[in-house]
Chains A and B, each alone.
Chain A
Amino acid sequence: MISLSGLTKEFPGGVRAVDSLDLEIGDGEFFALLGPSGCGKTTLLRSIAGLETPTSGKIRISGNDVTALPPGRRNVAMVFQDYALFPHMDVTSNIAYPLRIKKVSRSRREARAAETASRLSLSELLARRPGQLSGGQQQRVALARAIASHPQVFLFDEPLSNLDARLRLEARTFLKRLQRELAVTTVFVTHDQGEALALADRIAVMNAGRIMQVGTPSEVFHRPIGTFVAGFIGSTPMNLLPASAEGGRLHVAGAVLPLPGDIADGPLVYGLRPEYADLSQSAPTGRRDVFSGKVAVVENLGAAHLVTLDSGDLLIQVVVPEGDEPAVGAPAWAVPRTGRALLYRDDRLLTVA
């Protein structure tokens, strides 16, 4: 278990990369640190590794305070974004390097390297140098080297970002299975929300050195607690529209919707994922709970299309199944599904509409 309390890292020059942060990561958990670039996620990971010294706060691993320990004594293994395979050593020596440091005899460490390599189907490549390997093979060697050190915690810095798009999906599945098999607590950093949702047991969404929300992929996807998380999670960005509550009704972009629960009158933000609205190409008669507009852009997503409606001064995006896409310039109506929209006031989630 990793527990961080009041962790702060301030760089010379006054930049607070991590700002008094508390976090608990459970044993065997696959945990994602997700956020835009510069949000402090990598600094946080490097602080856990011991490569950065926190300005204040405590880091505990399995109950032991490791804040002041050097990286080598924390029993963690890190896989770097560029994999950091030693270019002058062959695959065997790379995988066996942690054991060389632990003064394991040459024959024992070569046996362990071969064993770890066969597990990651690297047996054919043991005599090669990193420069002679493909990106995916390099990543597996880096993972093998981390596994060979038998750590309590794995730390992955952007594990998939150096792979090309096709390989990335394969590697993602592989990584998830590997983590399940090893059952070692794993923390990884990513800026790709899809990667975090697909891989992690739990996700911490970070922004400007702070954690915005911690939750399971389903929680951060369906119940983002603030508009930042709402806008950041999801492969198509959520529609966040200014709204207002007046006399038990919700007014959004020309539509009038029923207002759930007891929400006081006043301004709100109405959040609706493009996947949770249906597009109608004929005017629904007698209904006021629809958004009307003109089709401005149609983007092909493969099996679906992302349609952008121009509704006065607001843009509303809707995902439309294959074959139902409207012509650009045609009038269209977006019908929100009930129970799927999120209402925010003062950047806090109030309820679901």
Chain B
Amino acid sequence: MTRGEPEESAETRRPKRDEGRHRRVEPPAGRAGGTAMTRHVLGTIGRATFLAVVLGFFSLPLLWLASAPFDAHPSITTSLPEFTFGNFRSLLDNPYVVSSLRNSLLQAAGSAVLVVVLAALAAYALSRVRVPGRDALLYVLLLLSSVVTGTAAMVPLFELATRLNLIDTHLGVVLTLSGGLLPAAIFILKDFMDGTPTSYEESARVFGASPLQILRHIVIPLVRPGLATIAVWAVANVWGSFLQPFILLRDPDKAPGAVILYTLYTEGGAPRLDLISTFSLLYSLPVVVMYVFVSRRYGFRFHGGIKR
């Protein structure tokens, strides 16, 4: 509505101005309208072409991911496949593939649970308790976690993991990855917590609810969409993490999918495109399914509140 109004008034103003010009020269009334029309059509075609090129640029790799796993002789270009399921069979012959999926699941689920639980508690506390310098603390944490990335902190992290005997354990990977995700998770969840009015909790408190009961009965159900968002985001992050598990895990039996993908080469060092594409497809499916499921469940649901 508000967007339409100024356009409309511009529209109504334009013919008036044209009228004033035309009164003196008296050209056929249709011409000015005709050129504007042509310009409009050309503009639309140009925009559509540009969007098509951009769309193609981004969708070709996805098309490759959809076609190459079913191609008997995949190359790095997208082409109609010589249809086969053979790639899946030869992929499953690799002893590490299935276990790597299990490892990925374990590490992703572990990190997601840890991140959601810790971030929810921290965000609730930070949202409700007046701590001097709270906002500064949050911003510094967020800044550090995005500037000092896992890559930059890898040496000290490795050193720390070695001293704590966490090398070659799932726990080590889970803790390292969770640590990296927590600041942003706390930051996002605190926003969700800030959005729920304190009168809900105060009301529960007057009825005698304990802090943990308030968290369980009131706060968590209200911020559930936020918790789901954080869980999905944590899983997707851990699922795609390569460097930390690559460095912290020695035993290929414990390596997650992202690391095993890196080993799908021939002895000569040439990439096995059939295996890489197939595994890539297999490896990305769980995350896609999870996204679809969670956005169905939590994507656009609101509990009607009170007019404020």
Which A residues have a C-beta under 8 Å from some C-beta of B? 49-51, 70-73, 76-78, 80-88, 97-98, 100-102, 129-132, 135, 138, 149, 162
Given contacts A51-B206, A87-B303, A101-B213, 9 further A-B contacts (CB under 8 A): A49-B206, A51-B202, A71-B208, A72-B208, A78-B202, A82-B199, A86-B217, A129-B303, A131-B305
Contacts of A73 in B (CB 8 A): 208
Q: Which residues of A contact B208 (CB under 8 A)?
A: 71-73, 98, 101-102
Among B202, B213, B306, the one with the most A-chain Cβ atoms within 10 Å of its Cβ is B306
Please name all residues of chain B whose beta carbon is closer than 8 Å to the beta carbon of A80 when the two chains form the complex. Answer: 199, 202-203
Among A51, A87, A100, A138, which residue has its beta carbon within 8 angstroms of that of B222? Answer: A87
Q: How far is the CB of B251 from chain A (nearest CB, A)?
A: 45
Q: List 25 A-B contacts (CB under 8 A).
A: A50-B205, A51-B202, A51-B206, A70-B205, A71-B202, A71-B206, A72-B205, A77-B206, A80-B202, A82-B199, A84-B197, A84-B199, A84-B202, A85-B306, A86-B200, A86-B203, A88-B303, A97-B207, A101-B204, A101-B207, A101-B209, A129-B304, A131-B305, A149-B207, A162-B306
B206 close to A76 (CB less than 8 A): yes
Complex Cα spacing A149 to B208, Å? 10
> What is the interface size of chain B, counting residues whose CB is below 8 A from a CB of the partner?
23
Distance A83 CA – B307 CA, assembled complex (angstroms): 11
Instruction: Tell me the smallest distance from the CB of B200 to a CB of chain A, in Å.
Output: 5
CB distance from A255 to the nearest CB of B (A): 50
CB closest residue in chain B, given A49: B206
How far, in Å, is B242 (CB) from chain A's closest CB?
Answer: 39
Q: Are A72 and B221 in contact (CB under 8 A)?
A: no
Query: Please, how many angstroms separate the alpha-carbon atoms of A72 and B208 in the complex?
Result: 3
Let me know if B308 is at the binding interface, CB within 8 A: yes
The residue that B304 contacts in the complex, of A77, A97, A98, A130, with Cβ under 8 A, is A130
* CA gap between A84 and B205 in the complex, in Å: 12
Check A71 against B218 for contact (C-beta < 8 Å): no
Which residues of the partner chain A approach B203 to less than 8 Å between Cβ atoms? 78, 80, 84, 86
**B221→A88 contact, CB < 8 A:** yes
Cβ contacts under 8 Å, A129 to chain B = 303-304
B294-308 contacts to A (CB < 8 Å)? 303-308
